Amino acid sequence: MNDKISIVNIAKKTIEAEANAILNLSDLVTNDFEEAVHLIYKSKGRVIITGVGKSAIIASKIVATLNSTGTPAVYMHAADAIHGDLGLILKDDVVICISKSGNTPEIKVLIPLIKRGENSLIAMTGNENSFLAKQANFIINTYVEKEACPNNLAPTTSTTAQLVMGDALAISLLNLRGFSSEDFAKYHPGGALGKKLYLRVKDISTENQKPQVSGDTNIKNVIVEISAKMLGVTAVVENDKIIGIITDGDLRRMLSKTDDFSMLTAKDIMGKSPKTINIDAMAVDALEVMEINDITQLLVEENGKYAGIVHLHDLIKEGII
């Protein structure tokens, strides 16, 4: 039990230490940070991000974030750079070098080589007096008082600070570029995230059958239509306009109330205020309407006319949920 309490306390202290370090970063966002953002924004080249050790892992993540938010970026490991990968850096590229100390041997070898190519250099470091900082055009300060590691050795708080500053950099550039959700969708076409951003109702509903009956259709034929189209529902349509909806539930309620439905027609049992959605609406919006109204399908309209059905199962199949 005591061991469990100790572990919980250690975890909480670690989180608190890193949270406090992140809050302190706000005071380190200076004019250099702003100038670095504008330098990247105006650059005709890419952003090359490099580092060693844990900083290299953070560099790789920042590259991924920049690429997904409209800023072309390339990852280059500092050790590999001095063994051939330096050729990745092109004339107009901006280089960001990440290092907590700014004084590692690899950095001291790499920086003069980058400077020789006359590329602009941004230092992301926790040491403004380091070799890296003194060689850089701009400094993004990621100073932390100490690591969350009790020995103040394992990169923990410092790499969290680097990660957060990388996010701040990416989001600043995103805003400068006016990067929209539509742009985001172009960079994330795969998976549930991408589909939420680009998949529309028409992409789904046109794949379904289109059950419909008229108001005067007898109940037997209503049942046949619902069964044949296998969506558990049919629209009631007059002159291409939706006037109602009949679901499996409506049929069950009808059967619980009467034994003889030979004289009943669709308009006698239909719901008269069905929920609809425009065919050009986003699929994720269709999901929201279903969730709010606790229903599993929507009737689709195009230019005020009945255009089909979108079902909850379609959204599940597409990974929207």
DSSP of 246-289: EEHHHHHHHHHH-S--TT-BHHHH-BSS--EEETTSBHHHHHHH
Is 77 annotated for ligand binding?
yes
Q: Could you tell me which of 132, 119, 123 has the C-alpha nearest to residue 169?
A: 123
Token match 């990968």: residue?
Answer: 85
- Bridge partners for 247 per DSSP: 233
**What's 26's DSSP letter?**
G
Taking the C-alpha atoms of residue 292 and residue 275, their distance in angstroms, rounded to an integer, is 11
Strands, sheet with 212-213, edge to edge from the N-terminal-most edge strand: 212-213, 233-238, 241-247
CA–CA dist 222, 212 (Å, integer): 8
Is 181:197 a contact under the CB 8 Å cutoff? yes
Sign, CA torsion 165/166/169/175: negative
CA torsion 236→239→240→246, rounded to 10°? 0
Do 122 and 39 touch, CB atoms closer than 8 A? Answer: yes
Which residues are bridge partners to 311 per DSSP? Answer: 297
- Phi/psi for 309 (5° steps) reads -130, 140
Going by the annotation, the residues of the binding site for Zn(2+) are 77
Going by the annotation, the residues of the binding site are 77
